[in-house]
């Protein structure tokens, strides 16, 4: 199936490629978030002393409200961030396999390659290694590198840009969550949405909607 394009930005001008991690650099069929969600709920049950149904409700509520469950737990319950991150990311990565085709497509990209995730940096490093993508990225920016500010908060993107020192006008953001592309677009970046749902329409702030990241990168001029 051909890639579906919402806009036609000039990707030949891109000097910095910023990639989300989870469900972007691997397919959701790996179901890592099933494990992460369960461990989040378990952590909330233990930390707050609530039943599973309430813990699951809070996990979803804070994710919808803040873009990351951790922020709600910190703001409303005083949870220690590192305890939470260590617990929820102790997951089995055996469902991830090396992807030589994606590796080669990323390696051929001109310019810099960065990872910007709402997960922990150590989690990102483990995932990249399991996918055979370690060594390809100049910088990996986890939630702890952004003062615990998650996407889609504007402060999260600004902190990464300050760390990496790139020109938004010559950068692209690649994400599986379309709402996380609104701020990069407003900052002047090209936006690529890796959409895993057939027929889902791209919002106005998405420059390019793709269904296969490897194919999209391989077909770039």
Q: Are 20 and 58 part of one and the same domain?
A: no
Range of the domain at 140: 11-26+97-218
The answer to whether residues 117 and 162 belong to one domain is: yes
Q: Following DSSP, what letter does each residue of 68-124 receive, concatenated?
A: SHHHHHHHHH---HHHHHHHHT----TT----HHHHHHHHTSSSEEEEE-SS-HHHH
Say what the pTM is: 0.90
Q: What is the number of structural domains in the chain?
A: 2
Q: What is the pLDDT of residues 118-156, one digit of tens each?
A: 999 999 999 999 999 999 999 999 999 999 898 999 999
In-domain check, residue 17: yes
Report in angstroms the alpha-carbon separations of 14 from 64, 84, 109, 111, 134: 31, 36, 9, 7, 22
Domain for residue 64, yes or no? yes
Domain harbouring 83, CATH code: 1.10.150.450
64 and 110 within one domain: no
Query: Do 49 and 109 fall within a single domain?
Result: no
| pLDDT tens per residue across span 150-165 | 899 999 999 999 999 9
């Amino acid at each position: 199936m051909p890639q579906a394009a919402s806009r036609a930005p000039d990707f030949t001008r891109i000097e910095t490629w910023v990639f989300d991690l989870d469900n972007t650099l691997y397919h959701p069929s790996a179901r890592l978030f099933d494990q992460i969600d369960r461990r989040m709920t378990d952590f909330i049950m233990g930390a707050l002393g609530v039943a599973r149904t309430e813990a699951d409700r809070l996990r979803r509520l804070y994710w919808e409200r803040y873009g990351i469950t951790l922020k709600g737990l910190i703001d409303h319950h005083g949870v220690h961030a590192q305890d939470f991150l260590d617990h929820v990311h102790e997951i089995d990565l055996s469902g991830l396999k090396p992807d030589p085709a994606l590796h080669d497509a990323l390696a051929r990209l001109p310019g810099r390659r960065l990872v910007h995730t709402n997960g922990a940096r150590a989690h990102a490093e483990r995932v990249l290694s399991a996918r055979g993508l370690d060594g390809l990225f100049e910088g990996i920016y986890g939630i702890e590198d952004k003062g615990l500010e998650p996407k889609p908060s504007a402060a999260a993107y600004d902190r990464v840009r300050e760390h990496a020192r790139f020109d938004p006008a010559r950068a692209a953001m690649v994400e599986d969550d379309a709402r996380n592309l609104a701020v990069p677009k407003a900052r002047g970046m090209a936006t690529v949405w890796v959409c895993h749902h057939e027929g889902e329409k791209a919002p106005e702030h998405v420059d390019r909607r793709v269904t296969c990241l490897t194919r999209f990168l391989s077909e770039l001029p």
